[in-house]
Amino acid sequence: MMASATMATCFCSSSSFSPPDLAAVHSPPSSSPSRRRRRRRWSCRASSTGGTYDHNPLLQPPPDPHFPLRLPVQDGSSGSRLRIFSGTANPTLAEEIACYLGLELGLIKIKRFADGELYVQLQESVRGSDVFLVQPTCPPANENLMELLIMVDACRRASAKTITAVVPYFGYARADRKMQGRESIAAKLVANLITEAGAHRVLACDLHSGQSIGYFDIPVDHVYGQPVILDYLASKTICPNDVVVVSPDVGGVARARAFAKKLSDAPLAIVDKRRLGHNQAEVMNLIGDVRGKVAVMVDDMIDTAGTMHKGAELLHREGARAVYACSTHAVLSPPAVERLSGGLFQEVIITNTVPVPPDQRFPQLTVLSVANLLGETIWRVHDECSVSSIFQ
């Protein structure tokens, strides 16, 4: 469970911007089956000394009346058929999701033998249950992917009614097409592995490209981390007329345009880059005007931060007043931390789809939680309600 932090200085924006409030906390589970839970607002919490920021969903702010939903009840009703299990990749996120739903994480035993092989055993019955397995395939990607596959197989052999792989960060998503001859399309291969292991559905967050959904032969619920980031940006005292949303490359224009539309219909700029190789990028020029503006760079992930770093250098040369980096997935492979903390960025805003260890945190970093977004989606899938309406 993430520890509470002291309250950060919050900001305000224009009334024209009102992103959906997707963060909430749950009330303690009630023994009464008729008790209903209500969504609660969450607030920005941070270190008052300028340290690492964290959006903590486990606070107790005033209730939000917009989404009164049922608590999963425990005796003889459909609520008892919802089970949440966590792998070892991001147990903190899984705990927050279960907390939002008013549940406890299911008991599962995961261990590694001396030769590196994995062993998985469910410690409770899941027969006839809707099982949700929370396991991002973040680094080490191969181990976490294999762990997810074995967890799915264990649930299938335990007669679970449905198995949903909740993959907040989908590894191998960038290998979604052939750029050169004799290359593999690993995203399709991983999709096949998850399907053949026995999963009935996949819940993913901000896939690298929309076509990856088509690689699965099972339903995919694709949710977006943008509303969580937008909700945070809405609290900033930045004049909407001073903001310009920047796509760090041509491939991310659609994502940045959608982000800009929700951010008070801010103008758009594009960094034109030429990639020299894997994890290497060369910035060429800027399309758009950022002089005297607050530039908000938007991407789906930050790996080595080469794209963000070179883009920020170009934005400062073009006269940007400040640069913010926003990304759903923070893989932060070396030397990402050095690049992001070097002074080019006013703030680096990410989510907790990938766990960020303490040694990779720095003063400009803000970590937002997507637990309530994923928890709400899980509940709607279990309750057979619309998922897309969350983002409308």
Output the tens digit of pLDDT for each of the chain's 392 residues. 333 333 333 333 333 444 444 444 333 344 333 333 434 333 333 333 334 445 444 433 334 433 444 454 443 344 469 999 999 999 999 999 999 999 999 999 999 999 999 999 999 999 999 999 999 999 999 999 999 999 999 999 999 999 999 999 999 999 999 989 999 999 999 999 999 999 999 999 999 988 899 999 999 999 999 999 999 998 888 888 999 999 998 889 999 999 999 998 999 999 987 766 666 657 578 999 999 999 999 999 999 999 999 999 999 999 999 999 999 999 999 999 999 999 999 999 999 999 999 999 999 999 999 999 999 999 999 999 999 999 87
**Residue 231 shares a structural domain with residue 352:** yes
Examine residue 232 and state whether it is found in any structural domain, yes or no. Answer: yes
Strands 365-368 and 322-330: unpaired
Q: How many domains does the chain divide into?
A: 2
**Residue 257 shares a structural domain with residue 168:** no
**Residue 212 shares a structural domain with residue 282:** no
DSSP of 60-118: ---EEEEEEEEPPP-SSSGGGGEEEEE-SS-HHHHHHHHHHHT--PPPEEEEE-TTS-E
Query: What is the model's pLDDT at position 66?
Result: 38
**Residue 281 shares a structural domain with residue 207:** no
Place of tokens 């096949």: 192
Q: How many CA atoms lie within 13 Å of 332's alpha carbon, on the beta-carbon side?
A: 25
Strand partners, 324: 296, 347
**Residue 216 shares a structural domain with residue 142:** yes
Virtual torsion, Cα 384, 389, 390, 392, nearest 10 deg: 180
CATH number, position 300: 3.40.50.2020
**Residue 350 shares a structural domain with residue 312:** yes
List b or e across 117-143, with b for residues whose CB sees 16 or more CB atoms inside 10 angstroms: ebebebeeebeebbbbbbbbbbbebeb
Query: What is the model's pLDDT at position 261?
Result: 93
**Residue 102 shares a structural domain with residue 150:** yes
Examine residue 10 and state whether it is found in any structural domain, yes or no. Answer: no
**Residue 243 shares a structural domain with residue 364:** yes
**Residue 244 shares a structural domain with residue 304:** yes
Let me know: does 337 contact 350? Beta carbons within 8 Å.
no
Query: What is the model's pLDDT at position 392?
Result: 77
Examine residue 49 and state whether it is found in any structural domain, yes or no. Answer: no
Place of tokens 């000394």: 49
Examine residue 20 and state whether it is found in any structural domain, yes or no. Answer: no
Examine residue 4 and state whether it is found in any structural domain, yes or no. Answer: no
**Residue 364 shares a structural domain with residue 376:** no
**Residue 199 shares a structural domain with residue 135:** yes
Examine residue 130 and state whether it is found in any structural domain, yes or no. Answer: yes
Examine residue 46 and state whether it is found in any structural domain, yes or no. Answer: no
- Give CA–CA dist 268/285, Å, rounded: 15
Domain, as residue range, for 254 = 227-368
Tell me which residue of 328, 337, 339 sits closest to 367, measured CA to CA.
328
- Give CA–CA dist 170/187, Å, rounded: 9
Examine residue 48 and state whether it is found in any structural domain, yes or no. Answer: no
**Residue 209 shares a structural domain with residue 107:** yes
